Amino acid sequence: MIQLQRLEGFYRVARAEGYARAVRSFPYPITQPGIHQQVKRLESEVGVALFERVGKDRVVLTPEGRALYSHVAPFLEGLDAVVQSLRKGEVGGTLRIHASGHVLRHLLPAWLRRLQARRPDIEVVLHESKVPAVDILSAGDTDLVVDHLPEVPEDVEARVVGHTAPFLVLPSNHPQAKSRRVRLDLLRDDAFIAYSTDKYLRELQLAELARAGVRPRRLHAADSSETILGFVSAGLGYSLLASLLPGGPREAGVVARPLPGAPSGAIHAAWRRSSARSPLIQAALTLAPKP
């Protein structure tokens, strides 16, 4: 294993083209014989001469030395800047985010534009999840989860970044679509389209129907709000959806009506407690929406 100290001596001699001049470039005290010893030990380790003497106090790189210098120089020249970035918490890299399709479409775009403008050194990798990806987060396979969270595990921290409101969605050609206030009890004979994968959201839907005294006679199921809206647009039934949009879900062939009295929901950004100091997560949270 080649010692970093020897590579630094080699690098500074190559830049200064001499041992005496290299001494003055070191950030710590060192003697000319000390630098010479570093280079000689490095040459012994790699098995070739790295410098050629061309004057009394001047040396230049051999072809082998130039090859080694091309690899060593970028690392040493960038090392100080990287260390300063680490100390300031300005580390770039890849930030992994899992979010629901609705959040990916309506909440994250503006947030990520701000992050991209402020921190172009951070690459964001997005994954759509059908249910809140808390298990994936706890396993360390993602950095942030942005979704509704029925429960926040002990090993996870969370912050509210958005609020959803409940809406009734009907086919635009439905007889009740023309009314501004729709009565759920008048829809008891219509098919209802419920969530299939996310049991928590499905239970919320059915609980709201039960509160209105409705027990659907026919049920269809879909994985996401986007798929549910597609079913509604096709005239297959109606549904209840939470939306980040003030006017409710927008889809051709669909009419959305607010549900007075139904509870609103929160959208959380969640991260592992152990990664709370991650500069990537902190950069994203600094620019997160403030509902």
Q: Determine the length of the chain.
A: 291
217 vs 239, more confident: 239
User: Each residue of 146-204: pLDDT tens digit?
Assistant: 999 989 999 999 999 999 999 999 999 998 888 877 788 889 899 999 999 889 899 99
Instruction: Please determine, for residue 91, whether its predicted confidence score (pLDDT) is greater than 80.
Output: no
User: What is the per-residue pLDDT for 83?
Assistant: 79
* Complete DSSP assignment for 190-256: S-EEEESS-HHHHHHHHHHHHHTT---SSEEEESSHHHHHHHHHTTS-BEEEEESSTT----TTEEE
Supply the pLDDT for residue 50.
95
Q: Percentage of the chain surpassing pLDDT 70?
A: 99
Q: What tens digit of pLDDT does each residue of 101-127 get?
A: 999 999 999 999 999 999 999 999 999
Average pLDDT over residues 72-78: 91
Per-chain mean pLDDT for the chain: 92
C-alpha to C-alpha distance for 100 and 147, rounded to whole angstroms: 6
Rounded Cα distance between 59 and 63, Å, is 13
The pLDDT confidence band at residue 89, using thresholds 50, 70 and 90, is: low
Task: Name the DSSP class of 164.
Answer: E
- Comparison of pLDDT for 64 and 261, the residue scoring more: 64
pLDDT 10s digits, 242-266:
999 999 999 999 999 998 888 889 9
Please list, in sequence order, all residues whose beta carbon lies within 8 angstroms of the beta carbon of residue 209, skipping any fewer than 6 positions away: 184, 192, 215, 216, 240
pLDDT for res 218: 92
Amino acid at 108: L
pLDDT given at position 94: 94
CA distance linking residue 55 with residue 71, whole number of Å: 26
